[in-house]
Structure 1
Amino acid sequence: MHREDSPGDWWPEGKDVFQLPWCPNVHWDPPAPHADVGPVAAIRRRSSADVTRVLASPPLPVRQEDPDYGHSPVRCTLTPVPLIGVPYPQTLPDEELVRSVEGHVEATGYGSDVIARVAGIKFGGWPTWHLTDPHNVLCPTCSAPCRLLFTVASDHTTGLTVGRWGDFRIFACPAEEGHEYVVDQY
């Protein structure tokens, strides 16, 4: 993803390319800070000026299990669409705003998850909490509350399925770019 396609304050100074290479196989004992039974991913933030060679045909992933089980992305085109995200009502500072968001949630009939869940791939915003109450995801390096960086969400429209119809999420420390990421499958 290029900075021009997904602007926001989550881009480090001097970086304009975001890459997320991942292993498509299920990892039952993944390295920290990855989630159990999920893909192992790496974050690459770089400057496009430093990319001197682009592979015309990237290598195909090596699958180690049943093709219907795992985390194999398929080639697709991303269409960036700017969205206005809303955090969960419990985290809002103003009672009137809380009532307004709760009214919207009730009107949709989809439950509280409707305000943060986006079909497909999402940069930034707020995480969904459809399985637990909202909580802080802490940086493993400094214990600061992390911000949601990236989500791959299961969705019928996009044909994506993560785990048991969940989300693959990456959180980043806002205090320091060099701190570890927190990867989970929710």
Structure 2
Amino acid sequence: MSPVRTTPPRPLEVTEVFPELAPFARPAIRLHPRPGSPSVRDSSVGGPLLWPAAEPWPHCEEAHLHVDSGFRQSPTEIRLERRLRERRRPGGPAPTLTPGERALQERNAAWLAERFDDGSPEPAECPVPMLPVAQLFLRDIPLLRPPGRADLLQVLWCPYEHEPDYKPSTALFWRSATEVTDILATPPQPYEADYPGYVPEPCVLAPETITEYPNSLEVGQELQQLLNDWNRWQAAATGVDSSYAEYPREFYDTHLANAPGWKVGGWPPWGRTDPYPRYCAVCEARMLPLLTIASFEWYGGDDGRSWTPQEDQAAAADSHHAGLNPSQPTRVEVGRTDNMQIYICPTSPEHLHTDLIQ
């Protein structure tokens, strides 16, 4: 696990001003991924999976969108380029690969040449090995509701966008960690990624439990009207900045409702579309948010950084260069800086999941 991360206290206790919101409170666990070197026995984002050697690695068999834009990079190449950018300084000389990075680059080039020189079809036309996105152990993330004796959730995706929603296809696996004794040492990886933002950086986690409330679009018109009543905010002596007087609901959504970033449980973010319920294709139960895969851990600007963990506020205030945004530790970008929400059936987590870009 990475060092502790602590969400700052909210500007006010929203249920004291709007007790009508109390029934909507939900627990969520902010994962707080930060770059590191997780092992197969750790909860992680983009890290190695505790995968049985005898179990086939998941491949995506769907049709893949592929435009020959000149982008031809394997996950290894993408991560090596990120290492170089991290070491580059404005006005300084171009960084060079370390001997270990150079060896990795050469092995990757030989691996690619072996596949393309033997008459293999274009990568986008092949079954594509999926990439690890998250591995979550129940011991670290107690909000998980695994089926049976399972205590581990593994999430993978295909690093290509798929029609009609133009997002990576996802796969979920529940398993019992103690039953995995012979571990797959070298999982297959895709020939290339459709977009660098679909290649997560290995990150350790610092889980933190918080309480969330729904986006105002999800609470119904009567409560929306209350949240829009500036007089009520003033009567409660909340000290909310007068810049929100015209749209006080915006203050609620930005600072009091649901947290940004990678998280388990809680309430989903909305905005790209109005909220709409998701129902299980097997039993028709209303599905619940399982995992939010986020492009950013906190929003930009002074207001948007109210969710920035206390331990990260100095870094968030500093300028950054070469894509080294401290609010984007995983380097993931879904839907071009949106969020991917994964939903599961509350009756049976093994029922087919669904996902949505917001």
Q: How far off is 1:110 after superposition?
A: 5.6
Normalising to structure 2: TM-score of the pair? 0.42
TM-aligned CA distance change 1:117 to 1:130, over 3 Å? farther
| Match of residue 160, structure 1, among 332, 336, 340 | 332
| Partner residue, 1:62 | 191
2:173 is the counterpart of 1:44: yes
| Match of residue 137, structure 1, among 270, 278, 284 | 278
TM-aligned CA distance change 1:5 to 1:108, over 3 Å? farther
Superposed CA RMSD in Å reads: 3.1
Distance 1:135 1:54 in 2: 40
Distance 2:333 2:251 in 1: 19
TM-aligned CA distance change 1:72 to 1:9, over 3 Å? closer
Contact 2:345 2:353 in 1 (8 A): yes
2:144 is the counterpart of 1:16: no
Residues 71-117 of structure 1 show CA distances to partners (whole Å, capped at 9, x for unaligned) of 1222222222222222234438x96xx75xx9689689666255224
TM-aligned CA distance change 1:82 to 1:56, over 3 Å? farther
Q: How far off is 1:57 after superposition?
A: 4.2
In structure 1, list runs of 5 or more residues that go unmatched: 30-35
2:254 is the counterpart of 1:126: no
Contact 2:212 2:259 in 1 (8 A): no
42-51 vs 127-136, greater mean Cα deviation: 127-136
Quick one: percent identity of the two aligned structures? 30
| Partner residue, 2:356 | 184
TM-aligned CA distance change 1:146 to 1:75, over 3 Å? same
In structure 2, what residue type is equivalent to 1:55?
Answer: L
Number of residues of Structure 1 aligned to a counterpart in Structure 2: 173
Q: Which has the higher contact order (CA 8 A, sep 6+)?
A: 2
Contact 1:113 1:129 in 2 (8 A): no
Distance 1:12 1:129 in 2: 28
Normalising to structure 1: TM-score of the pair? 0.76
Distance 2:207 2:146 in 1: 16
12-21 vs 130-139, greater mean Cα deviation: 130-139
| Match of residue 87, structure 1, among 196, 214, 232 | 214
| Partner residue, 1:148 | 289
